[in-house]
Structure 1
Amino acid sequence: MNAWLKERSELGVSAVLVVLGVLVLTDALRIHTDFAQRGPVGPKAVPILVGSLLLVVAVLLARDVLRGGRGEAEGGEDVDLAAPADWRTVLLLCGAFLANAALIGVVGFPLSGAVLFWGAAYALGSRDLVRDPLIAAGLSVATFLVFNNLLGVPLPGGPLMGVL
Structure 2
Amino acid sequence: MSTSDQQAPPRFAIPELLIGVGLLACAAAVAWQTLAIPVSPLYSKVGPRVFPYITMAGMVVLSLLLIVAALRGGWQPEEEKETPTDWKSMGFVVAGLVANLTLIHPLGFTAASVIMFVLVCYGFGSRRPLRDVLLGLILALAAYFGFAKALGVNIGAGFVENQLNTVINALIAMVRG
TM tier, smaller = 0.5 to 0.7
Asked if the contact 2:12–2:74 (Cα under 8 Å) also holds between the matched residues in 1, the reply is: no
Please report the TM-score for the alignment, with normalisation by the length of structure 2: 0.58
Q: Which has the higher helix share?
A: 2
Q: Deviations over 1:29-88 (max 9, x none)?
A: x6687621422356677749x66x958x96xx98xxxxxxx588577x9x5321211111
Q: Distance in 1 between matches of 2:60 and 2:48?
A: 18
Q: Deviations over 1:89-118 (max 9, x none)?
A: 111111111112221111111111111111
> RMSD value over aligned CA atoms?
4.6
State the secondary structure of the residue aligned to 1:130: helix
Structure 1 alignment gaps of length 5 or more: 63-69
- Counterparts of 1:25-104 in structure 2, within 5 Å, are 27=32, 35-41=40-46, 47=53, 54=60, 73=75, 80-104=80-104
- Amino-acid identity (%): 23
Question: Which residue number in structure 2 is paired with residue 66 of structure 1?
Answer: none
Deviation at 1:124, TM superposition (A): 0.7
Q: Distance in 2 between matches of 1:35 and 1:142?
A: 28
Please report the TM-score for the alignment, with normalisation by the length of structure 1: 0.62
Q: Deviations over 1:113-158 (max 9, x none)?
A: 1111111111111111331211111111111111222222212211
- 1:144 aligned partner, one-letter code: Y
Structure 2 alignment gaps of length 5 or more: 1-8, 166-177
- 2:144 aligned partner, one-letter code: F
State the secondary structure of the residue aligned to 2:149: helix
Question: Which residue number in structure 2 is paired with residue 155 of structure 1?
Answer: 155
Q: Distance in 2 between matches of 1:110 and 1:44?
A: 25
State the secondary structure of the residue aligned to 1:116: helix
Question: Which residue number in structure 2 is paired with residue 146 of structure 1?
Answer: 146
